[in-house]
Amino acid sequence: MRVVVVGGGISGVAISRAVEARGCSVTRLSRSTGFDVLRDDATTALAGADVIVEATGRFTTSRKAATQFFTGSTRAIGRAAGAVGAHHVLLSIVNCMRPEVQGYGYFAGKTAQEAVARSVSPHLTIVRSTQWFEFARQNLDRMRFGPVALVPGMTIAPVALDAVATVIADVAVGERSAREIEVAGPDTTTLWTMTKALPGPGVTPVPLPIPGRMGRAFRGGTLLPARETEVVGPRFQDWITGK
């Protein structure tokens, strides 16, 4: 089984490791390996793939920029997957499509991305997870302004990225076959609590209470999974103490 993971971030590394552990051959493609999904010929780059995992990302709060990036990535990968006869596996986020959070441009982009994937990919699985444990540090990097970093008020049920990667490996080798899969971590917490638990954050975290309907939705649990959502991986507290 030949698996191509598009996206070189922390998720690309974790997914490649999990898929390799199943005995698949894995290639990672991103700009740092010479492949730009928005510019290069994806059908040529993805030729020979049985499974293509789309784990590209660009952090932006702009609806326009997020929509352009995520739909552009998925249109290219979905069409290429159809052309080479591969299974397209897309990473997404639990509840990113909820109307109360569409004011957050990144989530509007993810919602548009899912719609494009459904329309262009003949063989598609969308794997949605809640925010990863690693998201606390990603947020500090993305929201850093000099010596401080802003931490939006968010109530979430975070999940270990390695546990999500294992689910994606199950999908890649055909052990799971649903068109949409949702997973979450075992506990409800806040991004602030997770951030305060990080060893050596390297920056001073500052709470950012987002105003209005969207801020209330983030704080009030709109991003929490439905009660019946599959729980995977360790508890955040056990994960962080093992780091």
Ligand X SMILES: NC(=O)c1ccc[n+]([C@@H]2O[C@H](COP(=O)([O-])OP(=O)(O)OC[C@H]3O[C@@H](n4cnc5c(N)ncnc54)[C@H](OP(=O)(O)O)[C@@H]3O)[C@@H](O)[C@H]2O)c1
Stretch that binds ligand X, among 19-27, 86-94, 182-190, 197-205 (CB under 6 A): 86-94
Q: Which of 3, 4, 5, 7 binds ligand X (CB under 6 A)?
A: 7
Q: In DSSP terms, which residues pair with 207 in a beta bridge?
A: 151
90-109: contacts with ligand X (CB under 6 A): 91-93
Binding mask 59-78 for ligand X (x = CB under 6 A): x-------------------
Stretch that binds ligand X, among 18-26, 32-40, 188-196, 200-208 (CB under 6 A): 32-40
> Considering CB under 6 A, how many residues would be counted as binding ligand X?
26
**Would you count residue 224 as binding ligand X (CB under 6 A)?**
no
Q: What angle do CA 54, 72, 135 make, to 5 degrees?
A: 50
Nearer to ligand X, 138 or 237 (CB): 138
Say how far apart CA 35 and CA 16 lie, in whole Å: 17
Q: Which of 20, 36, 230, 238 binds ligand X (CB under 6 A)?
A: 36
Q: How far is CA 149 from CA 42, 60, 62, 141, 201, in A?
A: 36, 15, 19, 8, 10
Say how far apart CA 95 and CA 102 lie, in whole Å: 10
For residue 186, what are its two tokens?
């075992």
Q: Which of 4, 46, 55, 171 binds ligand X (CB under 6 A)?
A: 55
Q: Which of 3, 4, 5, 11 binds ligand X (CB under 6 A)?
A: 11
**Would you count residue 41 as binding ligand X (CB under 6 A)?**
no
Q: What angle do CA 100, 106, 108 make, to 5 degrees?
A: 50
Task: Supply the minimum distance, in Å, between the C-beta of residue 104 and ligand X.
Answer: 12
Say how far apart CA 28 and CA 192 lie, in whole Å: 33
Stretch that binds ligand X, among 1-9, 19-27, 175-183, 230-238 (CB under 6 A): 1-9
Identify the three-state secondary structure at position 225: coil
Nearer to ligand X, 3 or 211 (CB): 3
Task: Supply the minimum distance, in Å, between the C-beta of residue 73 and ligand X.
Answer: 7
Task: Supply the minimum distance, in Å, between the C-beta of residue 40 and ligand X.
Answer: 8
Q: Residue holding tokens 């459904």?
A: 118
Find the radius of gyration of the CA atoms of the chain.
17
Beta strands (DSSP E) in 19-141 are 25-29, 51-54, 87-93, 124-129
Q: Which residues of the chain form contacts with ligand X (CB under 6 A)?
A: 7-11, 30-32, 35-38, 55-59, 91-93, 110, 129, 131-132, 135, 138
